[in-house]
């Protein structure tokens, strides 16, 4: 009977050993898959970074935002107490309504739809804060 118990123990140990090997192999395979997935994620992140950088214009979100900031808000516009995205957009839409009509107005308003108004408002608020600090 001792011989049979020893055989069972050996058999049990072998089964545990095989199960352990299978588990380690699965873990190894999963680690490989994870490495491949991480490499793919890195590739996609790099691609996204390149595409985002390409869409930027002179440090601004895009050409429309840069152009509106440069031409309309860079020191030539009346001072408001507070600049919000909505305020900035309203200023430009009112200006276009006063200056043009028809197709020209349609084109100008279409151009404004690409503007990042939050970015302009943030810059204007920073400029106002800086101006107030300098005038103290």
Do residues 69 and 60 lie in contact, with contact meaning Cβ atoms separated by under 8 Å? yes
Residues 67 and 122 in one domain: yes
Give the residue, 16 or 49, on which the prediction is more confident: 16
With a cut of 90, say whether residue 86 has pLDDT above it. Answer: yes
Residues 46 and 78 in one domain: no
Stretch 54-63: mean pLDDT: 81
Scored b (16 or more CB within 10 A) or e, 79-117 reads eeeebeeebbbebbeeebeeeeeeeeeeebeeebeebbb
Residues 32 and 94 in one domain: no
pLDDT given at position 78: 59
Q: Structural domain tally of the chain?
A: 2
Residues 9 and 48 in one domain: yes
pTM for this prediction: 0.56
Residues 71 and 122 in one domain: yes
Stretch 29-35: mean pLDDT: 90
Lowest mean pLDDT among 7-21, 24-38, 61-75, 97-111: 7-21
pLDDT given at position 43: 82
Residues 126 and 97 in one domain: yes
Residues 97 and 76 in one domain: yes
Residues 25 and 81 in one domain: no
Residues 4 and 40 in one domain: yes
- DSSP for 99-121 reads H--HHHHHHHHHHHTT--HHHHH
Residues 30 and 2 in one domain: yes
Do residues 84 and 120 lie in contact, with contact meaning Cβ atoms separated by under 8 Å? no
For residue 96, the enclosing domain spans: 63-134
Residues of the chain above pLDDT 90, percent: 25
pLDDT given at position 76: 54
If one counts every other C-beta atom within 10 angstroms of the C-beta of residue 127, the result is 14
Most confident of 16-25, 34-43, 86-95: 86-95
- The pair phi, psi for residue 76, each rounded to 5°, is -100, 0
Do residues 89 and 116 lie in contact, with contact meaning Cβ atoms separated by under 8 Å? no
Could you say which of 55, 82, 97 is where a domain stops? 55
Residues 40 and 79 in one domain: no
Max alpha carbon distance in the chain (Å)?
105
């Amino acid at each position: 009977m001792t011989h049979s118990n020893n055989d069972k123990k050996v058999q049990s140990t072998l089964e545990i050993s095989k199960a352990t090997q299978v588990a380690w192999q699965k873990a190894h395979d999963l680690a490989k898959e994870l490495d491949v997935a991480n490499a793919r994620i890195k590739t996609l992140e790099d691609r996204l970074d390149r595409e985002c950088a390409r869409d930027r214009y002179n440090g601004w979100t895009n050409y429309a935002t840069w152009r509106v900031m440069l031409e309309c808000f860079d020191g030539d516009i009346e001072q408001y107490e507070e600049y919000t995205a909505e305020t900035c957009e309203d200023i430009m839409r009112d200006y276009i309504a006063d200056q043009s009509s028809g197709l020209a107005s349609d084109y100008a308003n279409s151009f404004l739809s690409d503007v990042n108004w939050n970015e302009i408002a943030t810059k204007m608020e920073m400029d106002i804060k800086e101006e107030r600090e300098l005038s103290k």
